[in-house]
Chain A
């Protein structure tokens, strides 16, 4: 991977983090304008780094844990920048920017997490499966951040004591709507990610499902999100309960992402028989 570009990306994500967190404490319009732009420039460099690597090895760099981290943070920032265009929840950046920075940093800290991809696995399934699955997870990461903001604000409104940080959050109604929109996008992407993964497994290993920890955690998260979306559409499941379910669902995904590979080495951790 092009280390210089990635380092530059990390520096820009860090600057954006400083800007966004500064905005939480010193809300100036200039900060609200500049911070997303810094993040955008970091995203640009990040895109260049990932493309360069892609051209070099011929398939998206996602097989190793550190590559996955980097790719994932890239998608998450992309998702945030899109949401920012429409809803302008600048305060959300104060969660996303540090996350992106830490993940990029972690990508350096972790050595190569596994073997090189065996040549017979370098097919079109890989980019399709990984991109879809990660896009779904990126949507859920944003939904997670939005839900945390919802829960904090809801608690303070009910308690009748509001901190000045919460006063700059989008309204509960807006946060709840963002949660819904992200869920509506995230679930189909995750579903397609799981399906394409199974197809790929079937082509190469001969079975669709092998009870890997990654598959199990995705399965659990998928059930959570599907139940949540169903509840939202039919039974008026919204607000605090919906936010809580989103947080729990993402905790499963996150838990696997952080510890799953070390505890249970598997194909998803870069170990291919």
Chain B
């Protein structure tokens, strides 16, 4: 029978977090769950995905409605008793080309909460490998997942979907990269112990910054923070003296007070021989004089500026996502063509079978009717002749079909469909 790809699941759009959590699979439990899945009579292959934003079962079956029911009840069994709302309403199902499209979109991060986020592809690969080890992946899912990985790569490289960063601290790091060529020789000064500043400093450290100064009105907090992010604490009264060493200055003090003003920056820049400085005012309260941005070789972004850039980038991603959808659509067509081509082999066998049935039936009729006086030798000759006739008739159509058994041409599919119809071979 024809095999079909199905997906049953729920994600961040279809279900609230409580419901997603209740059906999520623990990694340690996955092997067991995949084993259960294999036991279902309607399923031939299966992969379970379970991330914090989605739980999905990707499977190959020969009877989609039956498979949907089985998988739904399988998911319902996972659900802990705590939640009682109508579980069914949060679940979506896809089959055939729609299922292929869904998986390609998930892999390409077009279906993610933050479109273009890079983690999902890695997660998909992990869950695929787990299923492969558990032995629940066959020809079709093998091809489907590998195809989805390369579709994701295509979308990533041919569209700008992931080229724009959207979190505040990554936006700030991207901006710093417009100003500075490399971070390894740069020094960061963090003023204030706010949470965003802490995050920002860590982000810069992971981008290569080695030298970090931390200051805070309460010196103990500066010492604490410095210890946590491997920086050097400095006394709050002293920070203006150290300012000339800093290439990046992060302001994140809890009080609404201008700590660094424009004349101060002008003075410091002179001492630094105009080596550029980047001021990031990342706290809710402004700590840097807005006029700093008017000074040559000094750049100032406050939290609203950063949010503005992040918002723009998000819109840019949405535009790029549309290009991604087109790529996905094209890839789905190719994949569906491949699935259909799998049916060629059964078609050839069915055609042979059908003609041979006719031959034997007619032969029997004749041999028991008008030709019943034939000798054993003559009967054998007649048998051979009819077999040879059928082989001769089938030779050119079958060799045409076999030329490209896994072909992705629409033309090949046309022949398979035509043969099925002409000879009433059943199937779709």
Contacts and interface: CB of A to CB of B under 8 A. Distances in A.
A associates with B = yes
Nearest to B296: A240
A170 interface: yes
Contact of A236 (B179, B273, B308): B273
Contacts, number: 55
Contacts of A166: 178
Contacts of A173: 179-181, 276
Interface stretch (A127-135, A154-162, A265-273): A154-162
Contacts of B157: 28-29
Contact of A158 (B158, B273, B299): B299
A158 B276 contact: no
A36 to B, nearest CB: 20
Interface string A225-247: 00000000001111111000000
Contacts of A236: 270, 272-275
A177 B293 contact: no
B365 interface: no
A170 B273 contact: no
Contacts of B299: 157-158
Contacts of B180: 171-173
Chain A contact residues: helix, strand, loop or mixed: helix
B175 interface: yes
B129 interface: no
A236 B244 CA distance: 14
Nearest to B179: A172
B327 to A, nearest CB: 14
A186 B276 CA distance: 25
Nearest to B247: A173
Given A28-B157, A240-B296, A241-B296, A160 B274 contact: no
A137 interface: no
Contact of A160 (B276, B296, B308): B308
Interface in A108-123: none
Instruction: Tell which of A29, A172, A240 has the most Cβ of chain B within 10 Å.
Output: A172
Nearest to A166: B178
Interface in A161-186: 162, 164, 166-167, 169-174, 177
A250 B274 CA distance: 24
B378 interface: no
B335 interface: no
Interface in B308-340: 308-309, 316
Interface residues of B, number: 24
A239 B179 CA distance: 11
A233 to B, nearest CB: 10
A64 B179 CA distance: 43
Nearest to A238: B274
A172 B305 contact: no
Contacts of B177: 171
Contacts of B296: 239-241
A166 B178 CA distance: 9
Interface residues of A, number: 24
B280 to A, nearest CB: 13
A157 B175 contact: yes
Q: In the complex, which of the residues A153, A166, A235, A238 has the most CB atoms of chain B within 10 Å of its own CB atom?
A: A238
B135 interface: no
Contacts of A169: 178
B179 A157 contact: yes
Given A158-B293, A162-B178, A237 B274 contact: yes
A169 B142 CA distance: 41
A164 B301 CA distance: 19
Contacts of B272: 236
A239 B178 contact: no
B297 interface: yes
Contacts of B273: 235-236, 238
Contacts of A162: 178, 309
Contact of A239 (B175, B297, B316): B297
A171 B293 contact: no
B96 interface: no
Contact of B160 (A153, A160, A164): A164
Contacts of B274: 236-239
Given A28-B157, A174-B181, A160 B297 contact: no
Contacts of A235: 273
Nearest to A174: B181
Given A160-B308, A160-B309, A172-B276, A238 B178 contact: no
A171 to B, nearest CB: 4
A172 B298 CA distance: 12
A158 B300 CA distance: 8
A172 B309 CA distance: 19
30 contacts: A28-B158, A29-B157, A153-B178, A157-B178, A157-B179, A158-B299, A160-B301, A160-B309, A162-B178, A164-B160, A164-B316, A167-B178, A169-B178, A171-B177, A171-B179, A171-B180, A172-B178, A172-B179, A172-B276, A173-B179, A173-B180, A173-B276, A177-B181, A235-B273, A236-B274, A237-B274, A238-B273, A239-B297, A240-B296, A241-B296
* Shortest Cβ-Cβ A-B pairs, 7 listed: A236-B273, A236-B274, A174-B181, A173-B181, A171-B181, A239-B297, A173-B180
Given A171-B178, A172-B180, 18 more contacts: A28-B158, A29-B157, A157-B175, A157-B179, A160-B301, A160-B305, A160-B309, A170-B181, A171-B179, A171-B181, A172-B276, A173-B179, A235-B273, A236-B270, A237-B274, A238-B297, A239-B274, A240-B296
Interface of B: 157-158, 160, 175, 177-181, 270, 272-276, 293, 296-297, 299, 301, 305, 308-309, 316
